[in-house]
Structures are given as C-alpha cells and as structure tokens.
Structure 1
C-alpha cells in the first residue's frame, strides 16, 4: 500500500526537505505540496491525500486556521510540523486539541546531525497516523480484518490476532485500593490525557505520575494547560519533590522520571539514565522503578501510542499485584503501546477512552 501525502509549508526548502525524507521510503509518496493554508485546502479537494503534514506559521492562512477547516470539512490525519520554541509548543498543543494526531519537531530546517532519526520518526509517524482508527477511510486505505493489527514496520500486513489478556467488560478490583496512580502515553496521548484528567476530582486520594513522550520545551506548557482544565493540581515534575495526594506530576521531556521512596508518599527522582532507552522519558523506566521500590498497591494505565514502551513495566507491576488498564483499539490514535501490554497478558481491563475515567473514579470511590 502506498500512502499519499500532502506537504504544507511556506518554505520551499522545507517542502523539498520533507518530500525527500518521505519519498526515501518506497511506500510513501508526496502527491502534492502547498505553500499556505488556502493552497492546502484546494489541494486536499483536488488530490484527496491520506495524510497531511502541516506547518503552523504561514502567510494568508496559518496552520491552526487551516486545521480547523480540515477537521470541519475534510476530517483526515494531520501531522503538525512544529518548532521547538515556547510559542511553537503552545501552538502545537492547540493543534492537538483541534484534532491533529501528532507532531514532528522542525529542528534547524532538518539540517542537524540527527537527520536520520528525524527522517525515521517522520516516516513512521506518517505510516501509523495514515491508518489510524480515528480517521480510517476505507476508500483510501483498505480496512484490515477485524482480528488483525498493523505492525510498526509494515503497517498494511495482517498479523496474528492479539491474545485477549482480560475480559473487557469487567471493572477494576475495588480492593485493595491503589495508593499510587501511574499512566503512560505517546501518540494521541495529549488529547487522551486532556479527556481523562479533568474528570478527576480534587479529592483524588493518591499522587499520579505520568510519562507522555514529548520534547523538553513542551512538557511544562502541557502541564500548565492541563492544570487550567483540571480540579486536581497538574505540574511538571521536579527533582526530589515529595508526592502529594490530588497532584499529577508530568515527566519533563528529555529526562527519565522514577519513583523515589523518600517521604510519606515517596518523591520524584529525575535522571538521564538509562541513556540507552529508546524514549526519554520512558514509561517502562517509570513503571519498573515503581515495581521495584513502591511497597503499596498500584493502578497502572497505558493509553494510545506507537511502539511498546510501558508493556514490560506493566508486566512487572502486574506480577507485584497491581491493577492494570489499557486503552482499547477502538479509541486509540495508534494501538501500539496498549496492544503490547495486552499481548503480554498483564492487563485487567481493556476499555475505550470514554470509559477509563469511570473505572478510575469507581476504583478510588470518588
């Protein structure tokens, strides 16, 4: 299957760079480019792409205005191309709230030494987002059989169905009640967390630790945005700070967050180690630290995301008796991380995103 892409950017250099990086892969084809939002809307009508890469700062019509019109008139997967500045972070978070599925950082015109990694990330995100259940269109992408799932490296190839790990209709065990809540998410996670966290009351009786894959310039604006929407207190985690009930700690980008045993409820520990981890922060690193150090009951949740980060850690938590939840395929932007946990057989409840807040509230009796 060839994925058909529209590249939108006001810079001719960026349009050419993105096109070259994408078309180095045999299954990706840029069918058109556009110089601004107005041009993009015309090209969408004409070419009907499977996915759009969309710049934010453009003349005539900017990316956010264009995105609103795309979602209103031609809903489809959109990958934002974002600068790593504070302003770029705010605009990208706005875009994710408006319906964009993910973003790729624009680092010095893609001319840095990390060009190969950027290219791989770009290609992989385009592959996965173009076939996302959120915007699956049978006319553009043949529907997989109900019991098959795409793999990260070969998105169109059916694979063996995942073994069910748990009944999907039962609730979490109410006893013993968890003393710590941990969550992990990646692609699609910002919107998922924005749907879940505002449903939690200020009386949440436990601390909550969250790893969301994000650049370092994005995590504080993201935490601040969530804090403005939530009754619980949401903040970017800081080294050594004591954990408090009713507070949500977002792992800073570029560094791992782990659980420390100091203090009545524990504390935040931040470290660059392990440097070999594919993601930093990593859901696995957080979950494994909790499994190793925390002595009480844990409730662990994995939401939408590419890859398998968190599955190994959730398996270890389950062996220690943790309650576990995974978001179901039907609501995931990318059913990667939850699927990996389900296949390890360590999930108690598999639930759509809309049902997860209810599971949390009933478990904590709030």
Structure 2
C-alpha cells in the first residue's frame, strides 16, 4: 500500500482504522470540566429519575374519583417544590407547583387555569383524565439502566443528564496527545515580517484548531528544518511524548521531502499516495512505534485530508461511540467536466435555487486556496471517474458532521 499506486479512500481508511488502538489512559474530572470529553466506562443510573412522581404544572392534586361529586373540593394542603408532602386528605385537593412531589393518595393534577377557586374549595372546569399532568417516578431514567454508553462524547445535554443522576465526577478517556510538525524552511510565524521566498505557517494554526475541536492535547508544535538529520531527531523526540504525530508537508516526491524518506528508512511507511483530491501525497506509518499521519503541505489539502482521514482515526483512538458521517444527497449546482481517477472533495455550501436545495461550489478549488474553506460550509463528493452536470445528486458533508 506504500507503493506508487494510488490507494482508494475506503482501502486507506480501513487500513488506518485497523491500526487505531484505543487510548487506555483514563482520568476522573468534575462534571463542570466534562464538556467534550469521552466517557471511559458505561454510565449506569444509580436511582430513578425523577426519584418520585411529581407535578408537570402549577395546579391542584386530586383524587380523580372525587370529581364525581357536585360540591367544591376543599383545599387541605399546599405543597411547594422541594418539600415532602403529607398524604392527601380524603375528599380534598392540595395546591401544588411544578416539580413538587405528588402526595400519597392523589392520582391527577388539574392545571390552575382549569380551576375556579372559591372560599369553599375548587371547582374543576375541564375534563380530567386519571394520571393527568403527573410525571411518573423513573419516567426519564430507571435505576440500574445504562444511561450513557462507553465512548459517548459529552455534550451539554449529556452534562445535564449526568447532573440529573447526581453525578459530580465522571471517568473519561485521557486526551489523545498529538505532536504537530510543520515542514518547510520557507515558513514564518504570523507576526514576523516576510522575507523574499517566505510564507506564513498556515497549517500549524489550522491543525491547532482542528485538534482542539477534536478534544486532543497538543504536546509538541514545531517546524521541521528541511534536513534529513533534523527530521530524524524531531520525529524521534515527538514519538517519545505523543500518541500521534501529524506532519504537514514533506511526504511528496521532492528532494526536500524528508518525512516520507525517514519513515521508510527509520520507521515504517504502510500507506502513501491516496486517490483523493486534494491531498494525494498522504502518508501513514510509524516511528519508534508511534503512529505518524503525514498530511500534504497545501492548506486546503491539510483541511480536507484531516477531516476525511484524520478525524475517523482520532475518533477510533478516543474510543468514541460514533458512526461514519452519512451526509445528505443534494443536487449539484455546478459542473465538473473532466473525470478524475481520484475522489474529489469540493469545498461547497448548501443554497436554494428556485426554492429547492442545491450545492454551490467555490470557483477556485486549488489546494492552496484556503479561503474556499472559509466560504464553504462543507464538502461535496465527486466519485472517481465521474463527471458532474447541474442537477446530479451528490453526497454533501457539512464541516460540523465531519468534525463529529
């Protein structure tokens, strides 16, 4: 797979994911710090949620059978939220509020808007069904059930669910430690003046953002000198502290592309040259048993290959319980006249044409045009050996879906 032939995207993904061992380090963090983290173990419900029947509305707790009489029903109690109620006196009602526990003996709650209140008691002005407006004990979660699976990424709603179970601490997978190595003597950090022949280090910051979105910890972030010796030394140093090394550039066929050569001679190169556009010179291997994902050097190609290949690999390493992105099938609003042997991921966005969804493509799909990705909302897929006419259905992935 590391020869000169182009490897199909599915074959490459299958190979890379087969090498993706789940991180076995865990840590316990307070719930306040759990956003974006990955559960390292299943979350079982310690007690029913809610812990008791409670009122869904402000109103009056009653016995449904007491509605048969013609006299007002006297109010015998008032039950604020957060208090333990007394049993409901026979033939009476209890003033109750949203979230308050249902008193023993009551089997329905009437909304206050459906009740006339008099000195003698209440008269119900609407039909009432037994059990109406009562949230039953355990209707959300039952004790002993699995609330969240191992590998769940904690979003705001999972934080709330964990809080509803009284969990102040959660055990999560430790962050994947990633080293970023950008290559090229022409690279200059933003803020420094550019000299002739120099460019700003775009890829470092794209990768920093992508890895932060993915919940990774960047443990090393350097620019490699364009020498074989510096590449050997820096890759070895990165391997000592990282779970994954991501490089940009240095994996093509040029004389100064040292990353690929070092992987071949000092480590392992198991994948090189992918049938993808942009991003053909993608490499995957290892150095000192630490995986290395070698991305291309062009900025748009870095973004595309990270989303299509890098993110699935990272999700697998994190042990995330996810399914592959499904995308949407949307008619193309553009044309691709020449078929390619590579699968093309076009920077695109959804729009409306005569009130119907369509995909707009950025006019310049050069792998060096990163502004295309800022204009776009996602990627439209043109399969290998395929041309596209306006109206043809294409699969479209939003950036949000690809980032997972």
- Same-fold call, TM cutoff 0.5: no
Q: Greater CA radius of gyration, 1 or 2?
A: 2
Q: What's the TM-score, normalizing by structure 1?
A: 0.29
TM superposition score normalised by structure 2: 0.27
Query: Which one has a larger percent strand, Structure 1 or Structure 2?
Result: 2
